[in-house]
Chains A and B, each alone.
Chain A
Amino acid sequence: DQQVKQNSPSLSVQEGRISILNCDYTNSMFDYFLWYKKYPAEGPTFLISISSIKDKNEDGRFTVFLNKSAKHLSLHIVPSQPGDSAVYFCAASANSGAGSYQLTFGKGTKLSVIP
């Protein structure tokens, strides 16, 4: 049972336009959401996060929106740049019994920004 879903395996966007990456989740116990970016042959890099008490968090060109009633979050990148081309992973966490905040990841969306 996939608790975090990224239904678009890939997305292509023109440079300068907005990129919107979507993520759905099923576990209502998730209380913290993160986006990671991953280049080939590198580990994932943390991009931005949002807690369940907020509905929006912004950091420069990156904004994450959370719709708890729909169990949906999205990452907006404006304006998109060729260097943003990477695989983006959505992740969610709930406080486990060990308090370790382990993450559940989606399968990723490959973003290609076309110059």
Chain B
Amino acid sequence: DVKVTQSSRYLVKRTGEKVFLECVQDMDHENMFWYRQDPGLGLRLIYFSYDVKMKEKGDIPEGYSVSREKKERFSLILESASTNQTSMYLCASKAGGWQPQHFGDGTRLSIL
């Protein structure tokens, strides 16, 4: 079974802080993704990466950056956290081709 592990289930930070969300997958997948899920809005793609050190913007990249130094790890960075970034953050990975994305259990982030 594919295992996608997000470092924290719950996180509380203050406005203006730099926040790091970590994600690790154990299946040697090339592709990794960061989403946020908000009520009534579904899942929205923030950034994705199709290889080490490669990254592409998703639909809502503003206020976020990412880092992929190793194939198994994909980090989401909130450069200066704001209250509108309070959300559920979901990481996913997938193999190449027509394969499904596999998700972690999410990080519930609150920015106070």
Asked if residues A98 and B104 are in contact (CB atoms below 8 Å), the reply is no
**Per-residue CB proximity of A5-39 to B under 8 Å, as 1/0?**
00001000000000000000000000010101000
CA distance A102 to B99 in the complex (A): 11
Asked if residues A43 and B42 are in contact (CB atoms below 8 Å), the reply is no
What class of interface size applies to chain A in its complex with B?
Answer: 20 to 34
**Least CB separation from B90: chain A residue:** A43
Given A44-B90, A101-B97, do A89 and B42 touch, yes or no (CB 8 Å)? yes
Asked if residues B41 and A107 are in contact (CB atoms below 8 Å), the reply is yes
Asked if residues A46 and B56 are in contact (CB atoms below 8 Å), the reply is no
**Shortest distance in angstroms between B107's beta carbon and chain A's nearest beta carbon?**
10
Asked if residues B43 and A44 are in contact (CB atoms below 8 Å), the reply is yes
**Per-residue CB proximity of A92-113 to B under 8 Å, as 1/0?**
0000101111111111100000
Given A41-B105, A98-B56, A100-B48, do A108 and B98 touch, yes or no (CB 8 Å)? no
**Shortest distance in angstroms between A108's beta carbon and chain B's nearest beta carbon?**
5
Which residues of the other chain, B, contact A63 by a CB distance below 8 angstroms?
none
Which residues of the other chain, B, contact A44 by a CB distance below 8 angstroms?
43, 90, 103
CA distance A105 to B36 in the complex (A): 11
**Per-residue CB proximity of B79-112 to A under 8 Å, as 1/0?**
0000000000010101011111111111010000
**Least CB separation from B41: chain A residue:** A107
Asked if residues A34 and B40 are in contact (CB atoms below 8 Å), the reply is no
Asked if residues B100 and A49 are in contact (CB atoms below 8 Å), the reply is yes
Given A98-B56, A103-B45, do A41 and B31 touch, yes or no (CB 8 Å)? no
The 3 closest A-B pairs by CB, nearest first: A43-B103, A107-B42, A46-B100
Knowing that A41-B108, A43-B106, A105-B42 touch, tell me 6 more A-B residue pairs with CB under 8 angstroms.
Answer: A43-B92, A49-B100, A89-B42, A98-B56, A101-B31, A105-B35
Question: Could you jot down 28 A-B contacts, CB within 8 Å?
Answer: A34-B100, A41-B9, A42-B105, A42-B106, A43-B92, A43-B104, A43-B105, A43-B106, A44-B103, A46-B100, A46-B101, A46-B102, A51-B98, A89-B43, A99-B50, A99-B96, A100-B31, A100-B50, A101-B31, A101-B97, A101-B99, A102-B33, A103-B33, A103-B43, A103-B101, A105-B35, A107-B41, A107-B42
